[in-house]
């Protein structure tokens, strides 16, 4: 695996930048032998060593697929699925299928292919077996095999109190399964099986986000789970806590009531959460009285 920074420039006097990995703060990782839509990069990297830099020009016919590659790399840098928005068809069909790639500069480059200059600087080279692949770079079989290990690593990080790092692991495991799920017919047995593997990972991810006080993300994910699995007690409980944290009192109470209806044994835990919510409400009322005291008597 080669890790490197790259710049892509349009040919011409001004050499207008198209992409710059340094500007995004994330270097590129390329695994030799994997399917990649820009073989000129792999050909160059095979002969380079850490610290080396190369600059080369490619004719338009050799970089006709660069707009699709660039979109995928931009998605990766933004933490998205690199195949977001792509159907399962050949590359040329994808280019004609999509009226827009979502980036005006890439749309223009796709419509009018032109020579490009690539400037690459290698940061490190790792032999096989010495690195963990990003989910987007794995084969389908590798994704499925990697999920239990990534899940385990996330659990260990959470136990160590490394909550953001644990969330990142859970996110990677979810990304692996989501990528596989995209290839199945929604509602099919295989799709449902993958979804049932995603759900506990998503609940773990929500627990991390709860501790990071990212309550609205918890609300969104728990609601998405409950739209499919109306009897998921953990999703109701986490959503109830998130509602309470953002002062959605009625919604929190409704979710906690649903928890008790589904699992009465959780009454002590739910009662504690409700008492905490009531105490916070009393504190808030007291603070409001002090803050607004005398306003209406002036």
For range 57-70, the mean pLDDT: 89
Name the residue ranges covered by the structural domains of the chain. 2-88+95-125, 140-296
For range 127-152, the mean pLDDT: 79
20 DSSP β-pair partners: 7
Residue 130's pLDDT is what?
55
pLDDT bracket for residue 128 (50, 70, 90) = low
Residue 88's pLDDT is what?
41
CA distance 50 to 123: 5
- 29 Cβ neighbours under 8 A, 6+ residues apart: 1, 2, 3, 134, 137
Token output for 154: 């996330």
CA distance 37 to 47: 19
Least confident of 132-136, 137-141, 251-255, 289-293: 132-136
Q: What is the 3-state secondary structure (H, E, C) of 230-268?
A: CCCHHHHHHHHHHHHHCCCHHHHHHHHHHHHHHCHHHHH
7's enclosing H/E stretch is: strand 2-10
132 φ, ψ to 5°? -105, 125
- 166 Cβ neighbours under 8 A, 6+ residues apart: 154, 155, 157, 158, 204, 208
Residue 95's pLDDT is what?
41
How confident is the model over 162-187, as pLDDT tens digits? 999 999 999 999 999 998 998 899 99
Residue 14's pLDDT is what?
85
For range 32-52, the mean pLDDT: 80
CA distance 163 to 78: 21
CA distance 49 to 45: 8
How confident is the model over 192-210, as pLDDT tens digits? 999 999 999 999 999 999 9
- What is the secondary structure of 66-80 as a DSSP string? HHHHHHHHHHHHTTS
pLDDT bracket for residue 150 (50, 70, 90) = very high
Residue 155's pLDDT is what?
97
Report the helix count and the strand count for the chain, using DSSP H and E: 12, 5
| Prediction pTM value | 0.61
CA distance 152 to 131: 17
CB 27 within 8 A of CB 3: yes
How confident is the model over 214-268, as pLDDT tens digits? 999 999 999 999 999 999 999 999 999 999 999 999 999 999 999 999 999 999 9
pLDDT bracket for residue 140 (50, 70, 90) = confident
CA distance 256 to 235: 11
- 280 Cβ neighbours under 8 A, 6+ residues apart: 244
- What is the secondary structure of 187-201 as a DSSP string? TSHHHHHHHHHHHHH
Residue 86 has pLDDT above 50, yes or no: no
CATH 3.10.50.40 for domain 2-88+95-125: yes
Query: Structurally, what CATH architecture does the domain formed by 140-296 represent?
Result: Alpha Horseshoe (1.25)
């Amino acid at each position: 695996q080669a890790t490197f920074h790259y710049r892509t420039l349009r040919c011409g006097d001004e050499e207008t930048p198209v992409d710059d990995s340094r500007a995004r703060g994330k270097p590129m990782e390329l695994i030799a032998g994997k399917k990649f839509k820009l073989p000129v990069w792999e050909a160059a990297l095979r002969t380079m060593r850490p610290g080396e830099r190369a600059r080369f020009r490619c004719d338009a016919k050799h970089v006709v697929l660069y707009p699709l590659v660039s979109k995928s790399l931009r998605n990766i840098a933004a933490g998205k699925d690199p195949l977001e928005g792509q159907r399962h068809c050949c590359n040329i069909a994808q280019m004609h299928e999509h009226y827009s790639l979502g980036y005006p500069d890439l749309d223009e480059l796709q419509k009018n292919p032109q020579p490009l200059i690539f400037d690459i600087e290698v940061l490190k080279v790792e032999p096989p077996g010495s690195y963990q692949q990003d989910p987007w770079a794995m084969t389908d079989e590798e994704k499925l095999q990697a999920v239990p290990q990534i899940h385990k690593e996330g659990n260990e990080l959470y136990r160590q109190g490394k909550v953001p790092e644990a969330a990142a692991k859970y996110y990677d495991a979810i990304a692996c399964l989501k990528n596989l799920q995209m290839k199945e017919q929604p509602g099919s047995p295989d799709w449902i099986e993958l979804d049932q593997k995603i759900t506990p990972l998503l609940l773990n991810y929500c627990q991390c986000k709860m501790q990071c006080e990212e309550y609205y993300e918890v609300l969104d994910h728990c609601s998405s789970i409950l739209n499919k699995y109306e009897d998921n007690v953990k999703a109701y409980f986490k959503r109830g806590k998130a509602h309470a944290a953002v002062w959605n009192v009625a919604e929190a109470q409704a979710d906690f009531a649903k928890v008790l209806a589904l699992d009465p044994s959780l009454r002590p835990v739910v009662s504690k959460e409700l008492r905490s919510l009531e105490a916070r409400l009393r504190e808030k009322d007291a603070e409001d009285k002090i803050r607004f005291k005398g306003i209406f008597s002036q």
